[in-house]
Amino acid sequence: MGQTTFRPFCFLPFWPYLFLATTLLSLPAVFTRSRWVPGVLLFVIDWVMVANLMYCRTYFNAIPAQSYLLAGNLSDFTDSVADSFSWLYLLLPLFTVAAVAVCPLAVDRRGSRPRPLPYFVTLAVLSLLAWASDAWRGGAMKHMDGLSINCYKSTCIAPVYTIGGFVIHDIIQAKGQLTPEIEAQVTGWLDEHREIAGSTAVDSLASQRPGRKNLVIILCESLESWPLEKSVEGVELTPYLNSLIADSTTFFAPNVVTQAANGRSIDGQLLMLAGMLPMRNSVYSYEAADNTFYTLPKAMGERGGRSYILTCDKPHVWNQTRVADAFGVDTLIHHTSWNNNEPVGTARRLSDGGFMAQSVEKLRRGEIWPAGERAFLMWVTYSGHNPFRLPEKLRRVDFKGDYPEMVKNYMITVNYTDHSLATLIEYLKTRPDWAETMVVITGDHEGLADRRKEAVRNPYSREFVDAGQHTPLIVLNSPVAGRYEGQMGQVDIYTTLLDLMGWNGYVWQGMGQSVLDPDFPGVAIGFADDLQGNADSVDSVKLDHLRRARDVSDKMLKFDLLKNIK
């Protein structure tokens, strides 16, 4: 509880379900005098709880039911998993060890067997109390439905109803049927959105400017905004990106609220390439990978262009192969295409420096994006992956201050990625089609996760670490240059890029709004359903519309409703 929230204590069902779960766990003791059977069961439950606490430090919720089947993904992210562990979690199995050790002292030495009748009577009474605590709300499932869509209470399901209850609710939700009510909810929201965000094509600052022929996106792993334009101990953290931001043809928005959720990096692609928000308790790349999507690569394809995604990861990670196909990507270039001569991280993937240098070689040889071709390209970097530990030979800076270790490592890694990006971008500037190419640099999601609390408490790092979760949007060679300091969401990037490219007539304009629209609200809902920005400046209708967007997107993905868009 200490690292989650104490709010569940306020709900009446918390108490009967707590005692009911405890009583159920004592069931083996009713039928056996062995201390080992209940001991093993408790150890299993302990580690399930530890896994959920570790997961919560990054995603701020319990593990979704579907994610238990995706444990194989963790083999590529063992450093990140280890970093989310806290020694405090060892208290759970240690309590179990103590209970098993003391258990013989409580055994009836006369050898009488436990009596099941009092146990089952107790179980029945607790079950009745648990049922009664929810009956006035329409039942436990209905209460969980309500909690799941509440911006302040969505994390309370597992503490109130136990992890088992959370998983059962998740499974029941996943098996839901498309109803007329759901279709009406989605259609109504989309109609509202056309009214609210439909002025972009006419009123946007970009609408009177020529678009661009080519679109390049560099999706930087865990890139946050706070290191930009900042020096620590006299060291400029991102000198190259700072020079790009200062260019007169750059558009820069530093306060993009990260909205990636359970799917992390692949959610970043959904937000920015497809203009949709992540699913509530599932990862779309597994559950909805065969859906109909309208995306930036498909928009490029309609204009005779070709699309590429370049990554040094394996194609099965986050089901990238199927996502690329569903998004209309022509060519996926993954880890087998690179000489892994400079590996980093537990997964031993190619460093950003090597990735960019080898990419330029392929570009020069015409293996990708040959001269004269119209193209969409996206690079997905890797070196910035949590826990941000670079080999010594790749480190370009060091810091002596008494900052948390992760903050030091993060600054060192961001500085390295900044240097690596120069290799690719400086090459792009030499191409004859540079004037017709727009380059976007952004992050797939925030990086510090739960360690942000430590960073903003530290008297030294709190001077420069952002208490919020923001990634930058840097657009080079933009038809509209300048700076936007307000809040925007990652989902707004998709619509903004359509706007800047001059693609306002594309069939799907996304669930966001172009930041260049004069009516842009200047607020965003984070992935934890937290409102960021000045809510007082936005009318209640728009705020309500924004708050409902995540649930509408969840239903659109769950039931493949984008196929109905005309």
DSSP conformational letter for 91: H
Which tokens belong to 316? Answer: 């099965």
Is residue 382 within 8 A of residue 349, CB to CB? The reply is yes
375-380 vs 214-220, strand pairing mode: parallel
Structure tokens at 550: 């995540």
**Domain ranges within the chain, ordered by starting residue:** 7-174, 185-564
Which run of H or of E encompasses 220? strand 214-220
Distance between CA atoms of residues 147 and 255, nearest Å: 28
DSSP track, 389-456: ---GGG------S---HHHHHHHHHHHHHHHHHHHHHHHHHHSTTGGGEEEEEEESS-S-TTHHHHHH
> Comparing C-alpha atoms, which of 438, 506, 510, 509 is closest to residue 302?
506
* Residue at 15: amino acid letter: W
Q: Taking each helix axis as running N to C, give the angle between helix 140-148 and helix 116-135, from 0 to 180 degrees, rounded to the nearest 10.
A: 50
Spatial separation of the C-alpha atoms in residues 338 and 343, rounded to whole Å: 11
- Which residues on neighbouring strands pair with residue 331, listed in sequence order? 308
Residue-wise pLDDT tens for the chain (566 aa)? Answer: 444 557 788 888 888 888 888 888 888 777 776 677 777 888 888 888 888 888 776 666 788 777 776 666 666 666 666 767 777 878 888 887 887 777 665 555 555 566 778 888 888 999 999 899 988 888 888 888 777 655 457 678 888 888 888 888 777 776 678 999 999 999 999 999 999 887 555 456 666 677 799 999 999 999 999 999 999 999 999 999 999 999 999 999 999 999 999 888 999 999 999 999 999 877 898 889 889 999 999 999 999 999 999 999 988 888 899 999 999 999 999 999 999 999 898 778 999 999 999 999 999 999 999 999 999 999 999 999 888 999 999 999 999 999 999 999 999 999 999 999 999 999 999 999 999 999 999 999 999 988 899 999 999 999 999 999 999 999 999 999 999 999 999 999 999 999 999 998 899 999 999 999 989 999 999 988 899 999 888 999 999 999 999 999 999 999 999 998 87
Rounded to whole angstroms, the Cα distance separating 11 from 475 reads: 47
Q: What is the dihedral of CA 143, 281, 269, 276, to 10 degrees?
A: -30
Indicate the DSSP class of residue 506: S
Cβ pair 224, 446 in contact under 8 A: yes
Residue 163 contacts residue 170 (beta carbons within 8 Å) = no
> Of 442, 397, 437, nearest to 419 (Cα)?
397
Expressed in angstroms, the distance from the first to the final Cα of the chain is 47
What CATH number was assigned to the domain covering residues 185-564?
3.40.720.10
Of residues 456, 444, 509, 513, the one with CA closest to residue 484: 513
